[in-house]
Structure 1
Amino acid sequence: MKRKINIYTNFILLITFLFIAGCTDDLDQSDPNSETLLSAEEVYSNPDSYIQLVAKLYAGLATTGQSGPAGNPDITGIDEGESQYIRGYWVMQELTTDEAVISWNDKTIKDFHYHTWTAGDAFINATFNRLDFQVKNCNEFLRQTTDEKLDSRGISGSVREEIATYRAEARFLRALSYWHFLDLYGSVGLVKEDSPTDFFLPEQASSEELFTYVKEELLDLVNALPAMGQNDYPRADQGAANMLLAKLYMNAEAYIGEKRFAEALPYIQNILNGPYSLHDSYEELFLADNDSNGAQNEFIFAVAYDGLFTQTYGGTTFLTHAPVGGEMNPDDFGIDGGWAGLRTTSALVNKFQMGDDQREQFFTQGQNLEIEDIGSFTDGYAIAKWKNIDSQGEWGSNGTGAFADTDFPMFRLADAYLMYAEIVAREEGGSESAALGYVNALRERAFGDSAHNISTNDLTEDFILDERARELHWEAHRRTDLIRFKKFTGSAYLWPWKGRVPNGAPTESYRNIFPIPSNSLAANPNLTQNPGY
């Protein structure tokens, strides 16, 4: 069925030797291989190992440890599935907004929707540590692949050229994690491959310093990475760097207090002029064969999952299982059973016309539109967007349906279309006619005709924010979008149970970023807590 995982499958034996140091609740950025240095040196001396080593960096976005879905975790102190990169990021991006609520009573999980989280929150701590762990591994790969190291090991020829590409990919993955740090936490310790490898406590970098670092890394990687469409799926290429640069500039006001929308435009245009194309079926973007059914041509950067080789209780296994409950049939989703957790609010439902738009993937049978009790799965419509079934109706490769094959598109072309239109709506550049063309292309795919196309007068900031919800809901964009439009906290936009009130209530502006976890503050006296916490 899907075999894009070839970059992942060969690293399994290596991780017995590499990257085995679990991430603890401090900001020690020392060499994660310090306890297995001899084995690491032996592995890095093998020219065939480098592709497997960079595969481990990509797997850091998908897996949670060294023993399948659970048993030998990277991150300690929390359920292993809850420590997974995409699951942690998704929870913080979606459960804090109008797009998602959860019925579970796992620790403080409901605090996200209520906007009552604290610095002691275990989920905030786990995501912080996951990002930190990913940065450590990228740094170590870069330390081990310097010219000096490669010379000492006699690595030369075509392998040496390939390693130069792998280094660019490692830098991109590190920049991605630092962007997530910046977006979620504002300011953290900035550690690079030339930082000390012995135990040390890094100084805290300001949001301005983090912004500048990520920007400069990406400006270099726009040229250093393989050309768009020229790297193996789902590895990063220049398209991924262009898209992340655009994201950085689009949200610059939230990060550094400066509007930089116009600076995002050239990088968006690079994407629009690239090899990407809209897939003709919205539903197929989120199916088990979205790496091969044509949907992958819309993906600019994706995190790959496989029910056999990247088993996890996070990622798209979480997104296919957690929304299924009530009268929903798990067989329709290619899973072994629903977890009866995730639903959405009427605020999202009401943005649709109900019945005309292919993006309306609500399950309503036995579900109430309004939420009287967040803890009741049947309060709130369910969303049937993510499935472990392919475009031919077959289940994913796992067979039992326990783990999903569906890839997670972190960046896709539709997002670039809407970012371009947003810049035009903000009068920061671009062509109005081109913006209308991009938005209407999405709407024609959604409605199947041009009857619902918009005109010039419709192209407003409010429309773009709502269209982003219709197109990109449950893809981990919503919190960042609402902050950019100044509607995440405060009273400008209320949704059910925001502020722990049935009809919504204003929340404090300091919650636009999350706190530095208490455990990290206690471990590193160089860190200062974000205001308000």
Structure 2
Amino acid sequence: MKNNFKILTLSILSLVGITSCTDLEIEETDSIISEGFQGLADPSSTITNLYGTLAGQYAGQEDYFALQEVTTDEHLIPTRGGDWGDNGLWRVMHTHDWDGQHTFIVNLFQNWNGNQLQASQVLDSRSNPSATNIGDASFIRAYSMWVILDNYGQVPYRDTSLPSSSVPEVLTGQAAVDFIIADLETAIANAPTTAAASGEANLRTNKAAARYLKAKVLLNKHIYVGGSPDSGDMAEVVSLVDAITADGYSLQEGYFDLFLPDADTETIWALEANTINKIVMGLHYNSTSIQGGGWNGFSTLAEFYDLFEGDSESNELDGSQNPADGQEERRGGVPTIGTDFAGQPYAADNSGYVNGSNVGYGFLVNQQYALDGTALKDRQGAPLTFKRDFKDGDGNINFINNDETTGIRIQKYAARNGDASLSHQIVFRYADAHLMKAEAMFRSGGDPTAMINDLRTIRNTQELLGTVSEQDILDERGRELYQEAWRRNDLIRFGQFGRDWLFKAPGTINNDDYNVFPIPPAQLLANPNLVQNPGY
């Protein structure tokens, strides 16, 4: 899939005339550019390819995921010896020291605008799209344009009916929101109604997915147009979520089971995106033999881990895989021994144990264990103990020169579920819709305490809340949706993306300029309608 994704991306770039970030000369040598677009011969095939492209863009730990997660308090990648230095590529994401030449920033802009262009080609009347094509393409274009608006604050749009040499117009603020909402209304009108727990049916656009995205856009609308949340928008968010509920979507018990390919009542929209990167990116090399071991990269801040109930210093499971340190279900835990193999779905036998079952779900801290219960060691022979703090060889808190064991690790898609990994990642989930409704109620003067407690009850938390504050809602979203690529969006909406956290560059603290990323320089040269964002 990765190679096909690269080929498709190059094709998209040639269509839109995008150039490399290191070569700012504009060349129009492709015959497609000079001849102009005349319609697609097979729009259904283009839609299929677009879903595959989205899956490739969503699967990895770089680009989209990195910009939504590593830029927050939820993820960071310290340099451990010679590992993960990459000329500061990952560090600047967390410290907010990025610029417009950063690979992830360039790629996100190019690739998601490429999605938009292909969707527009499907929607062109000369392509003779079916009603199903229109539903899919309208949704994909709206989603892609929203990603660009949310990350860059301005969206270039190419009208496929105009000459290919024309410069795309740029939509901002209300105009961008209106365009995206119109596409979503078209998607709602043309997409099928997919009942909850339909499994693979949720891999395509449905009315619930389009309503979910419309609610997400409206909840964030004041960020894009200025001002404060509009009560009418908040009322519509509530109505949209109620319509999703009417299709049978609901909260479901068994938190980590939700991330398996099995049908459930929470998955609104998923992609056939391989999960292996999300599994191995944080594990130590010796954590598991699956896929040759972990990458020993991604970790989380102790302050984020401390949002969850349980002993802050330990997160073990007992021999029956039950919480041993008072931790809530969503925090997961560290198994002290592997699970006996008995033909479990997605599992492989490893000497009588489920392969990878020594790796826990959720947050991994302190001593890690092998399948037989032996305490694991790092490559230097020291105990493999994932630590809260990031310290260098001199014992100082540092982003570089860490040893192999620093940082609490996260596992939402787990090693135990298959050596080949699973091609199923949730993009839109009902618990998020539930929390969006609660937030909309709160922002329009209502009391969402009962809704928040409904979620906490089904997640087996120890305590229910007596009242709910804005901070409580943000914290609950963090606990429920970690590693699902929503943290940056949430922190911006709650006014906390600029707050101080470990290793953030002083000049970026409380600086709203960093709420959007810079427009890549090559894009500014290619399209004079784009304007560089303030502060860059």
Q: Map 1:167-246 onto structure 2 (within 5 A).
A: 167-194=134-161, 196-229=162-195, 232-246=201-215
Post-superposition Cα deviations, 1:487-529, rounded to whole Å, max 9, x if no partner, equal: 111xxx432122269xxx8242110111111121122222210
Aligned mates of 1:465, 1:385 — CA distance in 2 = 20
Is 1:395 aligned to 2:440, yes or no? no
Aligned mates of 1:237, 1:31 — CA distance in 2 = 39
Aligned mates of 1:18, 1:185 — CA distance in 2 = 23
Post-superposition Cα deviations, 1:408-459, rounded to whole Å, max 9, x if no partner, equal: 2111010011112222333445xx4xx4443233222322xx752323x2x1
Is the 8 Å Cα contact of residues 93 and 477 (structure 1) preserved in structure 2?
yes
Which residue is equivalent to 1:59?
Answer: 52
Which residue is equivalent to 1:94?
Answer: 69
Is the 8 Å Cα contact of residues 60 and 85 (structure 1) preserved in structure 2?
no
Q: Map 1:452-531 onto structure 2 (within 5 A).
A: 452-455=463-466, 457=467, 459-489=468-498, 493-499=499-505, 506-531=509-534
Aligned mates of 1:32, 1:57 — CA distance in 2 = 22
Cα displacement (A) at 1:89? 1.4
Which residue is equivalent to 1:271?
Answer: 244
Aligned mates of 1:437, 1:232 — CA distance in 2 = 32
Cα displacement (A) at 1:319? 1.2
Which residue is equivalent to 1:74?
Answer: none
Instruction: Give secondary structure in 1 for the equivalent of 2:328.
Output: coil
Aligned mates of 2:500, 2:243 — CA distance in 1 = 36
Is 1:262 aligned to 2:248, yes or no? no
Q: Map 1:330-409 onto structure 2 (within 5 A).
A: 330-331=289-290, 335-354=291-310, 355=325, 356-360=327-331, 361-364=362-365, 365=367, 366-371=385-390, 372-375=397-400, 376=402, 377-390=404-417, 394-396=418-420, 404-409=421-426
Segment drifting more, 371-380 vs 27-36: 27-36
Is the 8 Å Cα contact of residues 101 and 342 (structure 1) preserved in structure 2?
yes
Which residue is equivalent to 2:382?
Answer: none
Which residue is equivalent to 1:303?
Answer: 271
Aligned mates of 2:46, 2:61 — CA distance in 1 = 20
Which residue is equivalent to 1:443?
Answer: 456
One-letter code aligned to 1:454: L
Which residue is equivalent to 1:325?
Answer: 284
Aligned mates of 1:232, 1:50 — CA distance in 2 = 20
Instruction: Calculate the aligned-residue CA RMSD, in Å.
Output: 3.4
Cα displacement (A) at 1:56? 0.6
Structure 2 length as normaliser, TM-score? 0.75
Structure 1 length as normaliser, TM-score? 0.75
One-letter code aligned to 2:273: Y
Is 1:411 aligned to 2:428, yes or no? yes
Give the number of equivalent residue pairs.
444
Instruction: Give secondary structure in 1 for the equivalent of 2:157.
Output: coil
Cα displacement (A) at 1:407? 1.9
Aligned mates of 2:106, 2:34 — CA distance in 1 = 26
Kindly tell me: are residues 173 and 408 of structure 1, through their superposed partners in 2, closer, same or farther at Cα, counting changes over 3 Å? Answer: same
Which residue is equivalent to 1:247?
Answer: 216
Is the 8 Å Cα contact of residues 324 and 330 (structure 1) preserved in structure 2?
no
Cα displacement (A) at 1:211? 1.1
1:106 to 86, 89, 98: 86
Is the 8 Å Cα contact of residues 59 and 425 (structure 2) preserved in structure 1?
no
Is the 8 Å Cα contact of residues 92 and 112 (structure 1) preserved in structure 2?
yes
Aligned mates of 1:273, 1:413 — CA distance in 2 = 12
Is 1:122 aligned to 2:93, yes or no? no
Aligned mates of 2:481, 2:237 — CA distance in 1 = 19
Kindly tell me: are residues 384 and 31 of structure 1, through their superposed partners in 2, closer, same or farther at Cα, counting changes over 3 Å? Answer: farther
Kindly tell me: are residues 421 and 298 of structure 1, through their superposed partners in 2, closer, same or farther at Cα, counting changes over 3 Å? Answer: same
Cα displacement (A) at 1:531? 0.9
Which residue is equivalent to 1:67?
Answer: none
One-letter code aligned to 1:413: Y
Q: Which structure's CA Rg is the greater one?
A: 2
One-letter code aligned to 1:302: A
Aligned mates of 1:18, 1:114 — CA distance in 2 = 34
Which residue is equivalent to 1:75?
Answer: none
One-letter code aligned to 1:190: Y
Cα displacement (A) at 1:389? 4.0
One-letter code aligned to 2:140: L
Instruction: Give secondary structure in 2 for the equivalent of 1:183.
Output: helix
Which residue is equivalent to 2:337?
Answer: none
Q: Map 1:1-16 onto structure 2 (within 5 A).
A: none
Cα displacement (A) at 1:214? 0.5
| Structure 1 residues without counterparts, runs of 5 or longer | 1-7, 65-82, 151-159, 307-315, 397-403
One-letter code aligned to 1:134: N
One-letter code aligned to 1:245: K
Kindly tell me: are residues 226 and 32 of structure 1, through their superposed partners in 2, closer, same or farther at Cα, counting changes over 3 Å? Answer: farther
Aligned mates of 2:31, 2:436 — CA distance in 1 = 41
Kindly tell me: are residues 389 and 233 of structure 1, through their superposed partners in 2, closer, same or farther at Cα, counting changes over 3 Å? Answer: farther
Post-superposition Cα deviations, 1:191-245, rounded to whole Å, max 9, x if no partner, equal: 2443x25233213222322111111221232222112438933101111111111
1:25 to 1, 4, 19: 19
Cα displacement (A) at 1:246? 0.6
Segment drifting more, 517-526 vs 164-173: 517-526
One-letter code aligned to 1:301: W
Is 1:280 aligned to 2:253, yes or no? yes
Kindly tell me: are residues 330 and 127 of structure 1, through their superposed partners in 2, closer, same or farther at Cα, counting changes over 3 Å? Answer: farther
Which residue is equivalent to 2:122?
Answer: 141
One-letter code aligned to 1:95: V
Which residue is equivalent to 1:73?
Answer: none
Post-superposition Cα deviations, 1:240-294, rounded to whole Å, max 9, x if no partner, equal: 11111110111111111141333322112212222213332111223xxx22x23
Is the 8 Å Cα contact of residues 320 and 386 (structure 1) preserved in structure 2?
yes
Which residue is equivalent to 1:34?
Answer: 32
Is the 8 Å Cα contact of residues 93 and 476 (structure 1) preserved in structure 2?
yes
| Structure 2 residues without counterparts, runs of 5 or longer | 79-83, 311-324, 332-361, 368-384, 391-396
Cα displacement (A) at 1:30? 10
